Structures are given as structure tokens and as C-alpha cells.
Structure 1
């Protein structure tokens, strides 16, 4: 159960277990956290290339104001949709990054940055989803 007026977490009963729900989604700095998920559909034989391109940019967004974390999720079944999951302090921090020169630079290929022609994109479809945490459990993230 979500209590919008509570300043403390609310204990919700789900079956016989008790689940601790935050009164509001809290990020690392005490602000509202927002989660952005970029669902990228790639041909079945192109996943390794997508992973390689992300690995080449590892840490590039880490110093962006409001950035809280990143995960690249590879499907482990027959699906071909990979998930790029990022966490941000709030929507404004995410939008500031999307509008930044760092975003434009990071989304250009190494070849383009060197003045060469761009390789074809790996993904054949991309869709961005936006969420806020509504509950959960586990150790706190640093």
C-alpha cells in the first residue's frame, strides 16, 4: 500500500509475507528517482556487437549530474530485445543529459568521432520506457 502522506515507509501485507514499501521513491540523494529503460531490439546475431559498443563507452555517463546507475541487460532466452536501464535523480537530470553535448558525443560512433562514416546501427527498433520505483527489497545501492 502506498501512503502519499506518510514520511516513513508503509508496511504492506501481501499474502502471508510483509513487504516494506517506501512512502515515495527515494534516490541516493533523497530525491525522487526515475528509471529510464531503452528497449533495443537487435537481430539475433548482433547482440555481441551491441554489448561491445556499450563496453567501449563504459563509465562515460558516470559523472553526469543526477546519474545514479546503469545496467545493460542481455536476454537469456529466445528474445532479441536488450534493456538499457538507467537510474536518475529526477526527470530534469535525465533531460539535461539528453540535451547535453556529452549525450550527442556518446551516441556517435568512434568512427564518426574520427571523421569517418558511421557504421550501421545495431538495433532495428528502440523504445524508451519511464518508471519510478514503487517498492522492492534488497541491500541499498551505493
Structure 2
């Protein structure tokens, strides 16, 4: 299993629009083979990034998503926010899960 964390720096004036974009997302990733879950994390301190965290069965499954038509369709909507909505380039991090614990409900 892998995690993919996309750290996105959003200007505070655009935070509400950014969050709405995820609440209204197309959900295309949800149907992809190997997709496990998606979290959108709001920063608790000013100046810190939002984190879009996805869990995948494998790196190959994630790469299949990034090369799919569904990926391009889903990310075409990202043009709905102007460039000034983002204060810095996003940072993508991929990690292998070496340990995992979970209760029955999140």
C-alpha cells in the first residue's frame, strides 16, 4: 500500500473556493482500480498547506490513475481557480506504508 500526499498552498482568500471544489468533486478517482481512500486535510495554522491524501493498493495503481482519461477530466476542473489562489507550488510526496492500524470506523 502507498500514500500520496499532495501539499497545496492556498491563499487564505481562496480557501473557501478551494474547499468547495473538493466537496463538489467529480469523484472519478473513487472508481479507479487500486484506489482505497481520499482525505482532504485543512491546515490548522496559517501559512501551512492543505493536504490531499490518497491511499492506493500499489504505486502501479496510482500511476494508472495519473495516466487515465479520468485523471485528466478530474483535474481539468482545477482551472476553475485562478493562479493567484495558490501561494506556492504544490509538493507531491509518495510513501510506502510499512505499518497500519485502524479501528472499525473512522
Question: What range is the shorter-chain TM-score in?
Answer: 0.7 to 0.9
- Say what the alpha-carbon RMSD is for the aligned residues: 2.3
Q: Which has the higher contact order (CA 8 A, sep 6+)?
A: 2
Normalising by structure 2, report the TM-score: 0.84
Deviating 4+ runs (over 4 angstroms): none
Normalising by structure 1, report the TM-score: 0.65
CA displacement, residues 51-83 of structure 1 (integer Å, 9 cap, x when unaligned)? 111111153211111100000000112233100
Is the CA contact 2:38–2:53 (under 8 Å) kept in the aligned structure 1?
yes
Q: Point out the structure with max Rg over C-alpha.
A: 1
SS at match of 1:137: coil
Q: How does 1:60-139 map to 2 (within 5 A)?
A: 60-109=28-77, 119-121=81-83, 122-124=85-87, 125-139=89-103
Which blocks of at least 5 consecutive residues in structure 2 are unaligned?
none
- Identify, as 1 or 2, the structure richer in helix: 2
Q: How does 1:1-80 map to 2 (within 5 A)?
A: 33-57=1-25, 59-80=27-48
Is the CA contact 1:44–1:80 (under 8 Å) kept in the aligned structure 2?
no
The total of aligned residue pairs comes to: 104
Which blocks of at least 5 consecutive residues in structure 1 are unaligned?
1-32, 113-117
CA displacement, residues 74-115 of structure 1 (integer Å, 9 cap, x when unaligned)? 0112233100000011011000100001000000128x7xxx
